[in-house]
Chains A and B, each alone.
Chain A
Amino acid sequence: MALLEVEDLRVAFGGSTAVDGVDFQVDEGQVVGLVGESGCGKSVTSLAIMGLLPRQSKVTARKRHRGGVTVSGRARFEGKDLLTLPRNEMRKRRGQELAMVFQDPLSSLNPVVRIGVQITEVLERHRGLRGEAARKEAAHLLDRVGIPDPTRRLTEYPHQLSGGMRQRVLIAIAVACAPRLLIADEPTTALDVTIQAQILELLKDLVDSEGTALLMITHDLGVVAGLCDEVNVLYSGRVVESAPARDLFARPTHPYTVGLLKSIPRLDLPIHEPLHPIRGSIVDVIRWKDGCAFAPRCDSVTEKCVEGEPALVGTEHAHRCVMAEEIA
């Protein structure tokens, strides 16, 4: 059974849609990637699952008018829909059963609270550990994420740590209660390349040893290749291609995925070979109703592409492109 099942998830801020019917699932212990460029809705998807969007509320015309956030669809976690859970129920699950690692490790840690407290507060809340027991466990967690001299670090503040260390602390906080699902939202984007690899390695070790499922949100296909079992490519608030990682890299089907792969600079090509960016940029207003939202930027666009909504085709390796057969 799937651990997390996201079905037709839609999120709108005021009148503008950010996520437009996303479906995907994460099985127990699986590493699933959510890939796409800035603005495709991948972070919003993760925040909606965690219930962290500001003032999540039911759809009402007035709220929509005032710029409130509206969320619809289902996000079933162990069978229970997280989107309709009462606030208190959600609070109990957050940090315990599902946890999250954020993008910017400096701004994601409270600057005026000691590292130790920021870790022990989770242990207190969800595992009932207090005082010395909590401190010991916190030191153990820091040790586990590879921070040297953990006892001293507990008494320090975030600004006294390097960027990589801070991200390790955030990871320690996230795995403190051995969650079933860990969501990592671009956990390496703010870090140096050398540190990035270490952090990814650490995440991989942790989910492997605990059997934690990982939802990896990234724009970096390199990260996906090294880490993920399943990949979902997002464009303009919808999944455009979904496949096992190996399969996706071997046979990219959707022109957007193809474009993403082509746009990665390669060292084995001649120096003067130009880079291949995807032309244009993602548009704010999502238009899937009048045809493929990627059509304006697509090189293989035909008239068929703008005749109605393209459906997600296939099961194992699914794609949302009416021209897929012809292109392949």
Chain B
Amino acid sequence: MLRYTVKRLLQLVVALLGLSLLLFAWFKSLPGGPENRMLPDNATDQQREALREALGLDEPVWTQYGEFLGRAVRLDFGNSLSSGRPISTELADRLPATIELSLWAIAIAIGVGIPLGYLAARKRGTWLDFTAVSGSLIGICTPVFFLAAMLKVVFSQNLGWLPTAFRLTPGTDYTDVTGLRVLDGLITGEFDVAWNAAMHLILPAIALASIPLAVITRITRASVLEVLGEDYVRTADAKGLKAQTIRGRHVMKNAMLPVVTVIGLLLGSLFAGAVLTESVFSFGGVGSFVYAATTERDYPALMGFILVIAVSYVALNLIVDLSYGFLDPRVRVRS
């Protein structure tokens, strides 16, 4: 298991190096360099040249890449072209909101999707199965921004059950510990803050959860159906074991293997969805920051964001891979 972990960690480093190279090359190839963004339109060629020199853009490409890499390792992505503040600070301010939202969304997706997928498989061919399958199809097909807007219109504006925007009712006092507001409220004992934050999370979390929920439901259903037909489930049945033992130990443990893999992959799309959901609900996470950076050609901010997201994505997948090794003894040995 240790060797497996070390090997996966080394693979992670290689993956990140490759990604940084790709990212760097991509940004280099974009038209309209940063100097055009930073200078007014009527700047002279000499002024542009001077700025390029000051930014180190006249250096050989490899030197630039080395410089970029060296600073990226120290989490120094430079200053945002829009706000002038360090990008790492900007991201650090906003990441907790996105993390909190994503955690809620994935919790909803897993908590509802796996039981639903299991039931659909067990009750195959019934109305429940039909509802789960067609519901998940709708879930996959509905664009996140559309669902987010519809939820907002129906549940906050028309019915008035839930808040329309932000992470807390404006003007609420709260103590910052982890940046995850619900958790903070629970830690400090400010339960009204936790409740308030939770209410603000429900709609965006549901919107963000829709696609992962649909995918998890379908994968679980397919996987459970496959495992139910396996010989070892019949063996378990032939042993006269209780239904719950068969379900937990012999069906779900095996059926979870593909689901875990898919959850790892879904986490990546979760960040993409967060950008849209956050802008609909003015949630103040990295999503809205990136949205602004994209429209304003804030290259350093975008690079910093993509790197941070990439690192967390790769790290999350490492965790998924390790848990996979934990779930399936055959993976451990093969490595």
Contacts and interface: CB of A to CB of B under 8 A. Distances in A.
Interface of A: 50, 52, 90-96, 99-100, 102, 104, 107-113, 117, 121-122, 125-126, 157, 159-160, 170, 173
Nearest to A99: B238
Contacts of B249: 110, 113, 117, 121
Given A93-B240, A110-B253, 14 more contacts: A90-B240, A92-B240, A94-B239, A95-B239, A95-B240, A102-B234, A104-B231, A108-B235, A110-B249, A110-B254, A111-B232, A113-B250, A121-B241, A121-B245
Contacts of B230: 107
A104 B231 CA distance: 8
Contacts of A110: 232, 235-236, 249-250, 253-254
Contacts of A173: 235, 239
| Residue among B239, B241, B242, B329 with max Cβ neighbours from chain A (10 Å) | B239
A90 B253 CA distance: 25
B128 interface: no
Nearest 8 A-B pairs (CB), nearest first? A94-B240, A95-B240, A95-B239, A107-B231, A110-B232, A157-B329, A108-B231, A100-B238
Given A104-B231, A107-B230, A112-B253, A96 B240 contact: yes
B237 interface: yes
B3 interface: no
Nearest to A113: B249
Contacts of A157: 329-330
A122 B235 contact: no
B327 interface: yes
Interface in B236-270: 236-243, 245, 249-250, 253-254, 257
A111 B240 contact: no
Interface in B91-133: none
* Central interface residue in A90, A112, A159, by most chain B CB within 10 Å: A112
Interface size class of B (residues with CB under 8 A): 20 to 34
B59 interface: no
Nearest to A173: B239
A159 B330 contact: yes
Contacts of B257: 112
A107 B232 contact: yes
Given A96-B240, A125-B242, A109 B328 contact: no
Contacts of A93: 240
Nearest to A160: B333
A52 B232 CA distance: 12
A121 B239 contact: yes
B1 to A, nearest CB: 14
Nearest to A111: B330
24 contacts: A90-B240, A92-B240, A95-B239, A107-B230, A110-B232, A110-B236, A110-B254, A111-B329, A112-B253, A113-B250, A113-B253, A117-B249, A121-B239, A121-B241, A121-B245, A122-B239, A122-B241, A125-B239, A125-B240, A125-B242, A157-B329, A159-B329, A159-B330, A173-B239
A255 B249 CA distance: 48
A112 B327 contact: yes
B237 to A, nearest CB: 6
Contacts of B234: 52, 102, 108
Nearest to A157: B329
Contacts of B243: 91
A112 B250 CA distance: 9
A157 B221 CA distance: 26
Given A157-B329, A159-B330, A159-B333, A109 B242 contact: no
Nearest to B235: A108
Interface in B206-229: none
Contacts of A96: 240
A160 B333 CA distance: 9
Nearest to B256: A112
A126 B152 CA distance: 55
Contacts of B330: 111-112, 157, 159
Contacts of A92: 240
**Residue from A52, A109, A110 having most chain B Cβ neighbours under 10 A:** A110
Contacts of B231: 102, 104, 107-108
Contacts of A109: 232, 235
A107 B232 CA distance: 6
Nearest to A87: B243
A102 B242 CA distance: 20
A272 to B, nearest CB: 42
Contacts of A125: 239-242, 245
A82 to B, nearest CB: 12
Interface in B107-163: none
A14 to B, nearest CB: 14
B241 A111 contact: no
A87 B133 CA distance: 29
A109 B254 CA distance: 12
A105 to B, nearest CB: 9
B248 to A, nearest CB: 11
B334 to A, nearest CB: 10
Nearest to B254: A112
Contacts of B253: 110, 112-113
A267 to B, nearest CB: 35
A308 B249 CA distance: 52
A56 to B, nearest CB: 12
A52 B250 CA distance: 16
A50 B333 CA distance: 36
B178 to A, nearest CB: 35
B232 A91 contact: no
Nearest to B332: A157
Interface in B290-335: 327-330, 333
The winner among A99, A108, A125, A173 for most chain B CB atoms within 10 A is: A108
A193 to B, nearest CB: 23
